[in-house]
């Protein structure tokens, strides 16, 4: 992966939706769902998977986001991807930002209800 692909594609200011910090199991892959990692945050429009096994920016993925008792199936596209050497994982951000391309029609309402049900982090 070229450094240029990862750096130019990552711009948090361009996010269209507010992210919610949440650790959720995500199963994903290109032609089949053959990987499993955790999302660190999620929005109605996408999520951030913390992994050093990244796909190329622009790759189309099949995803299953595992909410307690309710998996959601999505299609997504890798918006940004950053790999770092193992010894730098503690100090640098790495992983993939995924933009949902074809979410389940029930997804926006489910996400809003789920978000409202979360404890207030400031309480």
53 within a domain of the structure (yes/no):
yes
123 within a domain of the structure (yes/no):
no
Domain tally, the chain: 1
Classify burial at 29, counting beta carbons within 10 Å of its beta carbon; exposed 0-12, middle 13-18, buried 19 or more.
Answer: middle
122 within a domain of the structure (yes/no):
no
Name, in order, each residue with C-beta under 8 angstroms of 111's C-beta and a sequence gap of 6 or more: 42, 43, 44
Residue 24 has pLDDT above 90, yes or no: yes
Q: Which residues does residue 40 pair with via DSSP β-bridges, in sequence order?
A: none
Residue 15 has pLDDT above 70, yes or no: no
43 within a domain of the structure (yes/no):
yes
Q: What is the CATH number of the domain that holds 50?
A: 2.40.10.220
121 within a domain of the structure (yes/no):
no
**pTM exceeding the 0.75 threshold for the entire prediction:** yes
* Residue 43 domain boundaries: 3-9+18-116
């Amino acid at each position: 992966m070229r450094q240029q692909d990862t750096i130019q594609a990552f711009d948090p200011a361009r996010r269209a939706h507010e992210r919610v910090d949440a650790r959720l199991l995500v199963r994903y892959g290109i032609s089949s769902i053959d990987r499993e990692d955790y999302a660190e945050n999620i929005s109605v429009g996408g999520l951030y998977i913390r992994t050093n096994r990244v796909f190329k920016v622009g790759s189309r993925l099949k995803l299953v986001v595992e909410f307690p008792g309710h998996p959601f199936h999505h299609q997504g596209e890798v918006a940004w991807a950053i790999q770092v050497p193992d010894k730098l994982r503690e100090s640098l951000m790495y992983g993939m930002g995924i933009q949902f391309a074809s979410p389940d029609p029930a997804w926006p309402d489910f996400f809003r209800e789920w978000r409202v049900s979360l404890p207030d982090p400031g309480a």
